């Protein structure tokens, strides 16, 4: 297949490809339209090299639409996985920040954190432990049998309680230091 012929195919299928992308790509991923279109045409090029060029132009546009649609789904799935990993990493970072003992500028030891986790009421404990295990909000919601919003709320409340435990300990340490001096 020549470059000129492939340019003709791109020109003839451009409307179908962009229509599929507009219909199937999430608006949150609008920045990726060019990437999805490029992947679509790469897949088409490879397939055309293997199978040859069909004679029917209308069939070619339909085929291009299907490839673009599938590429949208593929891209969204890949982005979703990346987002889940980023969310889990952010939760771990936030947990480290919440459990940082500001008066000593050191991180709490694991035993202390585990003690605080045991002090949490059950729905909050299971939610925050799931995050510590690296599970996503969706996975936790499914395993606990509650909506994602409920899981987020429980995590927020658990974090607030952990902060209260830390602040209480800091107050106790400050009082002990004052009594000694």
**Which residues, listed in sequence order, are joined to residue 44 by a DSSP beta bridge?**
none
Mean pLDDT score, 75-91 = 74
pTM here is 0.48
Q: What is the DSSP letter of 32?
A: G
Q: What is the pLDDT of residue 160?
A: 86
Its CATH class, for the domain covering 3-81, is mainly alpha
Coil, helix or strand at residue 107: strand
State yes or no: pLDDT of 98 exceeds 60.
Answer: no
State yes or no: pLDDT of 103 exceeds 70.
Answer: no
State yes or no: pLDDT of 53 exceeds 80.
Answer: no
Q: Where in the chain is the domain with CATH 1.10.1740?
A: 3-81
Higher pLDDT, 114 or 100: 114
State yes or no: pLDDT of 119 exceeds 60.
Answer: yes
- Exposure string for 16-30, b = 16+ CB within 10 A, e = fewer: bbbebbeebbeeeee
State yes or no: pLDDT of 101 exceeds 50.
Answer: no
pLDDT tens digits, 4-30: 988 999 999 999 999 999 999 988 888
Q: Where in the chain is the domain with CATH 1.10.10.10?
A: 99-180
- Exposure string for 124-159, b = 16+ CB within 10 A, e = fewer: bbbbbebbeeebbbeebbeeeeeeeeebeebbebbb
- The domain 99-180 is classified under which CATH number: 2.30.30.230, 2.70.170.10, 3.40.50.2300, 1.10.10.10? 1.10.10.10
State yes or no: pLDDT of 84 exceeds 80.
Answer: no
pLDDT tens digits, 131-181: 888 888 888 999 999 999 999 999 889 888 888 888 888 788 778 878 876
Beta carbons within 10 angstroms of residue 51's beta carbon:
8
C-beta separation of 162 from 99 below 8 A:
yes
DSSP H or E stretch at residue 100: strand 100-101
Higher pLDDT, 62 or 165: 62
């Amino acid at each position: 297949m020549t470059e000129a012929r492939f340019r003709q195919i791109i020109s003839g299928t451009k409307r179908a490809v962009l229509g599929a992308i507009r219909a199937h790509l999430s608006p949150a991923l609008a920045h990726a339209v060019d990437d999805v279109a490029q992947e679509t045409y790469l897949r088409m090029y490879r397939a055309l090299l293997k199978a040859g060029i069909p004679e029917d132009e209308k069939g070619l546009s339909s085929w291009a639409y299907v490839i673009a649609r599938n590429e949208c789904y593929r891209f969204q799935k890949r982005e979703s996985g990346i987002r889940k990993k980023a969310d889990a990493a952010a939760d771990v970072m936030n947990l480290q920040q919440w459990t940082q003992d500001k008066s000593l500028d050191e991180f709490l030891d694991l035993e202390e954190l585990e003690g605080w986790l045991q002090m949490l009421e059950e729905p909050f404990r299971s939610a925050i432990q799931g995050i510590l295990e690296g599970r996503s909000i969706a996975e936790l919601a499914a395993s606990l049998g509650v909506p994602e919003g409920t899981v987020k709320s429980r995590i927020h409340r658990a974090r607030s309680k952990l902060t209260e435990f830390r602040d209480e300990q800091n107050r106790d340490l400050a009082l002990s230091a004052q009594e000694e001096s």
